[in-house]
Structure 1
Amino acid sequence: MRTQPPNTPTKRRRWTRMGSAAAATAALVFAGLGTAAQASATPEVTTAVAAKTTSSKVTWSATPCATPKKKGELACNSLRVTGGLTAFQKREAKEDGVTPKAADASTPSGYGPSDLQSAYGLSSAASSKGSGETIAIVDAYDDPNAEADLAKYRSYYGLSTCTTANGCFKKVSQTGSTTSLPSADSGWAEEISLDLDMASATCPNCNITLVEASSASMANLGTAVNEAVKLGAKFVSNSYGGSESSTDTSYDSSYFNHPGVAITVSAGDSAYGAEYPAASKYVTSVGGTKLSTSSTTRGWTESVWKTSTTEGTGSGCSKYDAKPSWQTDTGCTKRMISDVSAVADPATGVSVYDSYGVTAGWYTFGGTSASSPIIAGVYALAGTPGSTDYPAQYPYGAAGTSALNDVTSGNNGSCSTSYFCTATSGYDGPTGLGTPEGTAAFTG
């Protein structure tokens, strides 16, 4: 078993190069195993964006679960890279002095655990904290390969095993059954792989419970949230959303009012505009950034993720949800999205291992579906919330604002109130109060 790679940029890259041959061989073997299920019939929408260099273009498509299967269902917030060179690949090629190679499924092409831990000041906490905590991942439909794919991801990156057998991993339906599971869906399986891998990346010592809703309706996903809390999870990640409606306040009380539980929700991938349940006053809404290496002391830099006027991190002022007492911005009289943020731009995306409905192997993902489980993992590293607390308020405390990376550049669209859609010093809609710099902002 490898140990977790070092987290300083130079040492981390050297570890990647030294282990690349063995890792590539293993990944190629994995790619030939098993029989892929029939892919979802939902058409994919492809978006192309010019890279910041002239060497390539990065292309990606919305995962099939980003288009609801039925009327009334919510969409997942994930995007899968389909071609070109990600920021990770260009960085590695530059360091190795070789010609960049286009992505394929044989080796990772996005940021791994040590990258994310380095970027967010989590290296020490990730190695020593999280034991005994459980992160619940709530998604729709079943991923039959969830545990096996998670094992591939964790093994490649030298993380401890997390299986049903050792008590670390558990998969249940929205009723808590381990045997009567929902129907399988290849689109949501991609989302599930992304969520499980990101929770593992930020909190490798945490247990993980995957709660699968019978469908992507708010009623079923909300029931799955309640089941996750019933099973004891103090950290629940939700990477889905849809348009706001006047019924949202009733969903708040039915599904998301859980004191003592950190519930994270992705802010959406459709650029400026509010989504639910990110608009719930009881959750931590998580926006998305573009994450790049830099020569700063931190070693990383971030800006608002925006690809186009219709693709980028969500943000905005809710039409229906009341403003929580800890939000003090004055331009929005109701709930403002987001609270905090993390990487979501597919061009600076994260590595994920997936095998159900696709060629088994490594893929790069983006979308705020990545940022929500990352932040859930940070909450878990910070420790169990107070039993009567709403952890969404933690980043707004005095310790919180001083322990976040303030994102001050970029926008996700046009708006009448500038900070609703444009990054600024202090609080703004697209990135909230900022991204993690350690765990201090996520504890009471």
Structure 2
Amino acid sequence: MKRRSLATLTLAVAGTAVLAVSAAAPATAATSSAVSPATSGVYTVHPFVEKSALSPGQISPALTPADCLAETGGAVACQTPDSIRAAYDIPATINGAAAGTGQTIVIVEAFGSPTVQSDLAVFSQQFGLPTPDLTVYYPGGKPTWNGRGTQSNWAQETSLDVQWAHAVAPGAKIALVVAANDHGATIDNAVKFAVDNKLGNVLSMSYGEADNLISSPNANNGQTKQAQKSFVQGAAQGMSMFASSGDEGSDNAAGFANFGFPASDPNVTAVGGTNVWAGSGLTQPHDTVWGDYATCPLTCAFGPIGATGGAQSLFLAKGGSDVAYNASVYTGVLTYLGFLGGDSNGFYYFGGTSAGSPQWAALTADVIQAVGHTVGTVSKYAPGWATGGQLFDVTEGSNLTPTFDGGYSATAGWDRPSGWGTPDVGKIIAALQ
């Protein structure tokens, strides 16, 4: 099995960004106010991936984590839609319709993928999911695909997010909003486009910017202020917005406690990472904090790979994750990539908190379908869900890193790496009904 670890993506300083609505966009789309070059910051995206030994023809809806453990010599308990639904009590249908029916999941990416439609179709067919309904928007114009460097990395993130949103809410439509380039201001304008047009009731962002970069004397946080305006507007519209907590532990490789944006925004629900327990061959009877440097799961065949973010923000009040979800590569989710070419195309194991953000958005779409109304900012419900048993309390593990041993440990109740815990979607639906 060949290991492929994706490089960190750095967004260049943006030039003036003008929102040019594509033909697929709603006719009512508004022109975005541009963010100047001086105010554009840096975002990163961290999908961690291992090559699977399983070709598309070998995948079946009956595949289990145990099958993957057998294929990999006990190294990886890869997750499928069935195993994730079982782990988090996610219904496949609601009132006789596929879960998520009537809802649209909005996903924001840069560059997108040239094979996003066909890859999603392969994934859906192999796991016996309903035919997907995906619309791609290019609010800044469609980028020219060259398949190199950061474009390839963003394409992998796009595949992960779109396929696993569909896995968790197979009846929902997906609105993929693709920024024309990887400049920070361009991505923020893509978020603004999605919010201005309220493309859906839930929105996922699998990227972030370390707080120390925002707060640095050499940085200008005008870009984050632009994004925060969209988050305030989205919350006022009843949208549920999610962002990953990061994959470089409690310090974001800075050597001191350091969270990230947009996960730190109060209107955005920050999704921390865990090692999912159910059916994964782990000895603990519950999820544990994804922190390979503290406790590496299974055989740790590839060594420590990453750790969930979670720390006090340097410039906002939030102190870490709000909720959590599976993020370990060792319990990673199977995702199909078809743009790599030749024998490189196929299923991969993906990990990282960027996998949790679109799945929390999707399970919230399921909840909205079931209860018949929007729920808004999910983090405001999390404390009550924790005491009511709708969230599983994560009490083991830490997000320390080699660059900072002051990582935070999971505790009873809320903690910085895993927030209030992982979801029992069936119980969440019952509580809101």
Residue 441 of structure 1, CA deviation: 3.9
Q: In the alignment, which of 157, 161, 180 is matched to residue 131 of structure 2?
A: 161
Moved more, 245-254 or 197-206: 245-254
Q: What SS does the corresponding residue of 1:307 show, helix, strand or coil?
A: coil
- Which residue of 1 is the match for residue 27 of structure 2? none
1:255 correspondence with 2:193: no
1:111-130 CA-to-partner distances (Å, cap 9, x unmatched) read 11111100001135566431
Alpha-carbon distance between aligned partners in 1 of 2:173 and 2:387, rounded to the nearest angstrom: 25
- The whole-number CA distance in structure 1 between the counterparts of 2:48 and 2:401 is 23
Q: Does 2:79 match 1:111?
A: yes
Match in the other structure for 1:396: 383
Q: 2:66 maps to which residue?
A: 91
Q: Would you tell me which structure has more strand in proportion to its own residues?
A: 1
Change (3 A) 1:424 1:352: same
Shift in Å, 1:289: 0.5
Indicate the residue corresponding to 2:315 in structure 1. Answer: 320
Output the aligned Cα RMSD.
3.3
CA change 1:161–1:389 in 2 (3 A) is: closer
* Alignment partner of 1:70 is 2:31: no
Deviations 1:137-190 (A, max 9, x none): 11111311101100000011111111xxxxx21001135xxxx41233211110
Q: Is the 8 A contact 2:169 2:366 kept in 1?
A: yes
2:192 aligned counterpart, secondary structure: helix
1:387 and 1:59 map into 2 onto residues whose CA distance is: 43
Q: Which residue number in structure 1 is paired with residue 420 of structure 2?
A: 433
Give unmatched runs, 5+ long, in structure 2. 14-40, 55-62, 146-150, 216-220, 252-258, 295-304
Contact 1:394 1:400 in 2 (8 A): no
- In 2, distance between residues paired with 1:356 and 1:157? 20
Gaps of 5+ in 1: 1-57, 163-167, 322-333
Change (3 A) 1:308 1:295: closer
CA distance in 2, matches of 1:109, 1:363: 12
Equivalent-residue separation in structure 2 for 1:399 and 1:290 (angstroms): 19
- Classify 1:174/1:421 alpha carbon distance in 2 versus 1 (closer, same or farther; 3 Å): farther
Task: Give, in whole Å, the separation in 2 of the partners of 1:392 and 1:266.
Answer: 13
- Work out the CA distance in 2 between the residues paired with 1:59 and 1:421: 32
Residue 215 of structure 1, aligned match among 175, 181, 186:
181
Structure 2 Cα separation of the partners of residues 235 and 119 of structure 1? 22
CA distance change for structure 1 residues 93 and 160 in 2, over 3 Å: closer, same or farther? Answer: closer
Instruction: Give the letter aligned to residue 63 of structure 1.
Output: L
Identity of matched residues, %: 29
Q: Is the 8 A contact 2:11 2:183 kept in 1?
A: no
Report the CA distance shift for 1:109/1:294 in structure 2 as closer, same or farther (over 3 A): closer
User: Once structures 1 and 2 are overlaid, which stretch shifts more, 119-128 or 256-265?
Assistant: 119-128
8 Å Cα contact 1:419/1:429 also seen in 2: no
Q: Does 1:336 align with 2:319?
A: yes
Aligned ranges for residues 246-285 of structure 1 at < 5 Å? 246=215, 247=221, 250-257=225-232, 258-259=234-235, 260-273=238-251, 274-285=259-270
Over 3 Å counting, the alpha-carbon distance change for 1:60 and 1:286 in structure 2 is farther
Q: How far did residue 361 of structure 1 move?
A: 1.1
What is the TM-score normalised by the length of structure 2? 0.73
Give the total of aligned pairs. Answer: 352
Counterpart of 1:353 in structure 2 is 336
Instruction: Compute the TM-score of the two structures, normalised by the length of structure 1.
Output: 0.71
Structure 1 residues 60 and 280: alpha-carbon distance in aligned structure 2, compared to 1, 3 A threshold: farther
Residue of structure 2 equivalent to 1:41? none
Aligned-partner Cα distance in 2 for 1:381–1:387: 11
Deviation at 1:393, TM superposition (A): 1.1
| SS of alignment partner, residue 159 of structure 2 | helix
Deviation at 1:302, TM superposition (A): 1.1
Please tell me whether the aligned partners of residues 65 and 280 of structure 2 are also in contact (alpha carbons under 8 angstroms): no
Structure 1 residue 429 displacement after superposition: 0.9
The structure 2 residue matched to 1:188, chosen from 154, 157, 162, is 154
